[in-house]
Amino acid sequence: MEDTKRMALLGEKFPSMKVNTTHGPKNLPEDYAGKWFVLFSHPGDFTPVCTTEFVGFAKKADEFDKLNTELIGLSVDQVFSHIKWVEWIEEKLGVKVPFPVIADELGRVSNELGMIHPNKGTNTVRAVFIVDDKGIVRLIMYYPQEVGRNIDEVLRALKALQTTDEHGVAAPENWPNNDLIGDNVIVPPADNEELVKERLDRAESGEIECYDWWFCHKKI
């Protein structure tokens, strides 16, 4: 039976690929070993919504860097188009784009990662892949061409992933600004009677807070 390729899913290794970028050739995910990276696609250079997104990512680049995370852009435009566009952004808008942009003019990378949706045309949709320091895909988001992304949400999700990894917890809705528990994190639910008692004992001692044995939270 013939092998069919499919895009990587959450928890799987990001597919190994060599790409041409505005910063020269790169090997993904190998060149980013030990670092997280956010790969995001845009429909096209010299377009208004994409320009606002690139400005947004560029202005937040230092915040991603503090989280040991590199940014990588991508579209099906040629590399010279990318170069001229980032030059235009710096010249006209006063914002330097510090991250590489992949020139996927043949669509190989975009097709492998599911960034081209036939019903939305031949350009890439606005996809976001967050990949951890071991090369594992941790989050995937898709936006249509007509809706720009929220860069703060990409940052929030990245911080949540890194925090839950470090502390073995879960993050609630809109963490760290959840309406119920604020910046607390969720303790993994008990899955046996002994853990139920342990959770309730910890709540009684004030170590954690619980609405019930299956819904406990704490500060970190």
Positions marked active-site: 50
Give the burial class of 36: count Cβ atoms within 10 A of its Cβ; 0-12 exposed, 13-18 middle, 19 or more buried.
Answer: buried
In terms of Cα–Cα distance, which of 117, 162, 172, 170 is closest to 142? Answer: 117
Alpha-carbon dihedral angle through residues 179, 180, 182, 186, given to the nearest 10 degrees: -130
- Residue 113 CA from chain centroid, whole number: 14
27 three-state secondary structure = strand
Cβ atoms of 111 and 117 closer than 8 Å: no
| Coarse DSSP helix, strand, coil percentages of the chain, rounded to the nearest 5 percent | 35, 25, 40
